[in-house]
Structure 1
C-alpha cells in the first residue's frame, strides 16, 4: 500500500515539475531579449524604447551600396554586369553596379557618376538626364538599391532577408511579401530592432489594433530586424508534447509496476 502511494506521489511531483518547466518555455523561445522589454499584453498600438526619431523617408545612397540600373527601352543595357537578386532570391534582368569609395558608380556609356548622398529618385532623374544628353533614344531609366534589406525572424510564413525595393516600404508591405504570420504567432509581440546594434531603438507593435498602421515608425529602414514571437499556448503545447513523448512510456512502466505489486501482495 505504501509503495502504491509512493508511486502516485512521485508521479504527481513529476507532473508538477513538468508544468513548471512548460511555463518557462515562452521565455526560452523568445528571440533577442532586451533589458528594456515590456509586457507586450499592455501595448495598445505602438510603443517605442530608446526613440531615435523618424528615420529617412527616402534612403540616401552610401558608399558600398549596390545599384541595379536598367533602361526599360533597351534590354541589352549594361548586360556585361552581374544580375541582381529580388526579395524572393530569383535573378532578375537588372544589372548591378557598386558605389565606390568616392561615392561614384561606373555606368555604361557615361562612366563614373557621383551618387552618394542622393535618394533613389534623385539618382534616377540624374541618370535620365545624362543618358538623354548622350543621345540615347527615349531612355527610361529605373534604379533600385539591391542591398537595402530587412530581416524577418520568428512566426512568419517566410523568414529571411527581404529587399526594400521601393521607397517608404512599410511593415505591412513586408508582411505581405512574407505571406503573413503563422497560426501560432502572437500578434501583440511584434518588435522592430532598429539602428545601432549596441544601443538599438526597439519598436513594439500590436498587430491586433488597426490604428497601429498609422505610425510612421512602421516605415522600414535598412537593416531593421523584425521579430515575432509565438503565443504562450502554442509554446506550452509544444513543450507538453515533447514531455508527453517521455511520459507515455514511463506511465506504462508505472502502471505495470502497480499491477505487479497489487497481484503479488
Structure 2
C-alpha cells in the first residue's frame, strides 16, 4: 500500500508540473502510454513524502529558531558619519562676528541663503576661499575653517550645519504607499526606515521579500524574517544610489482543490498561512464525501538544483489532534492543497478527480501571470 500511495502521488505531481491541459482518460500527444509510465516511474524516485505529525512540526520550528539565532546581529550604526557631497547646503556662523554671517532674509530659508558645495567639491567663505568640503565630515570641515580664519580672527568659534541634504539619495519603488526618493542625512538610514518613510507596504505588496540593489548586485531581503521573527540581520544601512523595490504578491498564493466547499486560491499575507487557515478560507472540507485521511499538500521543488521533483505532505485529519497539526503547518507560495473524496484504495477515482483539478491550477496560474 505504501508503494501504491507513492506511485499515485508521483503520477499526480508529474501531471501538476506540466503546462498541458489534460482530461480524464487522455494522454500526452506524441507520447506513448509506455513512455508516460516510464517517465512517471523516474519521477517517483525524486519525490519526498512526509506525514504531517508532531515530529515534522517540531523539526520545522527548530529550523526556524536556528535561522533567527544564527543571524541575530543587526546593523551597526555606531561609527556612522555623514560625508558631505556636491550639492549639499551649509550654514556657517562665527560667534561674536555677525558681519561674517549672512542674515536670513524675510520669507527666505536657511537653505536658500546657505553655502552650496560646488561641482568641484569646494565652498567659499569669508577669508577662506575654495575650501575642500565634499567627502569630509562636518567636523573635519569646521576644523579646516577654524585653521584658515585663525589668520585674521583670534580663536574663532565656528558653527557649521547642513541645512540641505542634496548630494546622496536612495530610491524606494514598487508596492509602497508613497514611492519616493529619500535623502541620506546625518541620521543613519536603514532599509526598514526607508520603507516606513515611504508609507509602508501596500495591501498588494509581497511581505516575504524585497529586492535590494547596490551597484550591479541585487539581493533579496527577507522581510518576513524581520517582521515575524525579529531577525534584524535582514536590515541594511543604506548608501547613496541604493534601490529598494517591493514587488506585488501575485505569486504568493496557494491553491486549494478537491473535495472542499469552494475550491480556489488563497493569498498568503504578511503573517503567513497555515493549512488549517487555507482550508477554512475555502469553507472547509465536505464532511459527508471527503476522505479525512486524504488531505495532501504538494510543494514543487527544483529537480536540477535540489535533486527532488516535489515534496508531498499528508495529513490524517480524522481526529482533533490533527487539527492542531494543520494549524501549525505553514504553507508556502504556489503550494497545492488537495482533498480527496474517496478512500485512498480507490485510486482510479482519485486520478479521475485530480487530472481536471490540476488543469484548473494551470489555468489559475496563467491568469495570475497576465
What is the TM-score with the length of structure 2 in the denominator? Answer: 0.38
Larger Rg: 2
Higher relative contact order (CA 8 A, sep 6+): 1
